[in-house]
Amino acid sequence: MEKSVKVNFSLFPTLVAYHNGVLAYEQSVDIFKLCKTKHAAEHALLIGDASSTHDLKSDVLSEVEQLPSCKGLVLRLTKLCNEYMRDYGNPVDVEIGNSWFNFQQVGSRLTNHVHANSFLSAALYINVNPKVDKLVFETPNPHTAVFNPHPPEGRAPFSDELFYVGTNPGSLVIFPSWLKHGSNGAVNQTEDRLVVSFNAHIKAR
């Protein structure tokens, strides 16, 4: 009897791009100082002592762009989003739309969520603790737990229900807006945790 040949297919991968060192230390400090001067309000997705400018219709990146240390930042972020599109095999360009920031104090939580009416989303980390701050993504496959209801610690590529991305000050994470993400119930341990987020849409021709 001839030996059979096995082929495994990894179907339907989802691309999440992580860029470390997008911001220099000086830029992160300047953005932090700017956001500290801005009015923010409660947001339904933030539980505990936390505030956001999301519902205030602010465009925080336009204000960040006015900082001397951050000239050209929006263009750079746009290029990274378009690089993401190329990695996905899509030659269409995108442009950044709304942008906002979230401030979280110790003990607060960010509920898992998606970004409605958007194509791409991104999180730019300004003040975080890389030892404890994680961005958590949920699998869109509701049947994953059937294969591994009690997964061990670490990544199991075919049965992960959650995927944890570490964050560093100045880092950027880009992902499709439909991919559910948040802190997955983890309590924030960082004082004045600051993240600037934005959505991107397909650029009009």
pLDDT of 136 reads 96
Q: In percent, how much of the chain has pLDDT > 70?
A: 95
Strand residue runs (E) in 26-105: 46-47, 50-52, 94-104
The residue with tokens 């746009």 is: 78
Bridge-based pairing of strands 193-202 and 172-176 is unpaired
Pairing, β 50-52 against β 94-104? antiparallel
| Segment 77-93, tens digit of pLDDT | 999 999 999 999 999 99
List the one residue out of 103, 20, 34 whose CA is nearest residue 62: 34
The residue-averaged pLDDT of 168-174 equals 97
Judged by phi (left if over 0) then psi (alpha if -120 to 50, else beta), residue 117 lies in: left
Residues 116-146 as b/e (b if ≥16 CB within 10 A, e otherwise) read: eebbbbbbbbbbbeeeebbbbbbbeeeebee
Residues 6+ away with beta carbon under 8 Å from 149: none
Count CB-CB contacts under 10 A for residue 90. 12
Predicted confidence band of residue 10 (pLDDT cuts 50, 70, 90): confident
pTM reported for the whole predicted model:
0.92
Nearest in space to 140 (alpha carbons), one of 4, 9, 16: 16
Per domain, the residue ranges of the chain are 17-149+159-202
Q: Which CATH class is domain 17-149+159-202?
A: mainly beta
**Buried/exposed 179-197: b ≥16 CB within 10 Å, e otherwise:** bbbbbbeeebebeebbbbb
Q: Which tens digit of pLDDT belongs to each residue from 27-78?
A: 999 999 999 999 999 999 999 999 999 998 889 999 999 999 999 999 999 9
**pLDDT tens digits, residue range 126-137?**
999 999 999 999
